[in-house]
Copies of this chain bind each other. A is one copy, B any other.
Amino acid sequence: MGIGQVGAASLTQSNDAAVGELNDIVGFHIRLAHGAVYRHFVETFVDLGLTQKQVSVLWLVDELPGISQIDLGQRLRMDRATTMTIINRLQARDYVRRERSETDGRKQALYLTEAGTEALARAKQAIGEHEEWLKSRFTAEEVEKLVEMLARIHD
């Protein structure tokens, strides 16, 4: 699908499955793009059996060992209850363990288990493929611009 200097309206309607005026809704495109990325992610991770959220959590716990659930949730924009269920799943698979924080009795300190570390390593491999699939349609400058614009939305 060649991308030239054409208006976005005509461009994004070049597909055979037109959606009419919906095409002008930015949120609609974000949702569709997210869905496409999600589906490719699932394909790529079907062997590992990990979701986007689970990988993000493993990744962050690895970078910040001892992080609390509330801190983790805030960085990934999840509420406490959602964070709980994800940690529960990862703990059930023995990828993560909880320890009572020494400095704050309310908090749980999260750590990766060995299995979790291994799973994360494999996940990072898969993330590489996944990102390649995603980035392949953009130049480096466009990737940077895209990320910057997306960050303006979620920050």
Contacts and interface: CB of A to CB of B under 8 A. Distances in A.
A135 B1 contact: no
B137 A36 contact: no
Interface of A: 1, 3, 7-8, 11-12, 14-15, 17-22, 25-38, 41, 52, 56, 59-60, 63-64, 74-77, 127, 130-131, 134-135, 137-138, 142-155
26 contacts: A8-B144, A8-B145, A12-B147, A17-B74, A19-B56, A19-B76, A20-B64, A21-B63, A26-B146, A26-B147, A27-B130, A30-B30, A30-B34, A30-B150, A31-B38, A31-B56, A32-B76, A32-B77, A33-B151, A34-B34, A36-B77, A36-B153, A134-B153, A138-B149, A142-B149, A146-B146
Given A14-B155, A26-B131, 4 more contacts: A29-B146, A30-B37, A35-B77, A142-B149
